[in-house]
Amino acid sequence: MRLFIAIDYTDEVKDLIQENVNIIKPRLPRGIKWVEEENYHITFKFLGDVSKNKIDTLSEILEDTTKQFYSFAIQFGNLAVIPNARRPRILWYDMVEKTGIANNIFRILEQKLVQEDFKKAKRPLSLHTTLARIKYPMKVDWKAVFNKTSPITKTINCSSLTLFKSKLTQKGPLYSIMNKFNFSKK
Q: Which of 41, 55, 39 is nearest to 2 (CA)?
A: 55
Rounded to two decimals, the pTM is 0.91
Residue 108's Cβ-count burial label (10 Å; 0-12, 13-18, 19+) is middle
The interaxial angle of helices 101-115 and 55-66, nearest 10 deg, is 150
How many angstroms separate the Cα of 13 from the Cα of each of 46, 75, 120, 149? 22, 11, 30, 15
Q: What is the pLDDT of residues 106-160, one digit of tens each?
A: 999 999 999 999 989 888 999 999 999 998 888 899 999 999 999 999 999 999 9
- Output the pLDDT for position 30: 87
Query: What is the rounded distance in angstroms from the CA atom of residue 134 to the CA atom of residue 118?
Result: 29
Q: Is the pLDDT of residue 186 over 90?
A: no
Q: What is the pLDDT of residues 60-98, one digit of tens each?
A: 999 999 999 999 999 999 999 999 988 999 999 999 999
Query: What is the rounded distance in angstroms from the CA atom of residue 174 to the CA atom of residue 171?
Result: 9
User: What radius of gyration do the chain's Cα atoms show?
Assistant: 17
Q: What is the pLDDT of residues 92-107, one digit of tens each?
A: 999 999 999 999 999 9
**Coil, strand or helix: which one is 106?**
helix
φ and ψ at 100, to 5 degrees?
90, 0
Average pLDDT, integer, range 15-32 = 95
φ and ψ at 149, to 5 degrees?
-85, 165
CATH superfamily of 2-182: Cyclic phosphodiesterase (3.90.1140.10)
Q: Is the pLDDT of residue 168 over 90?
A: no
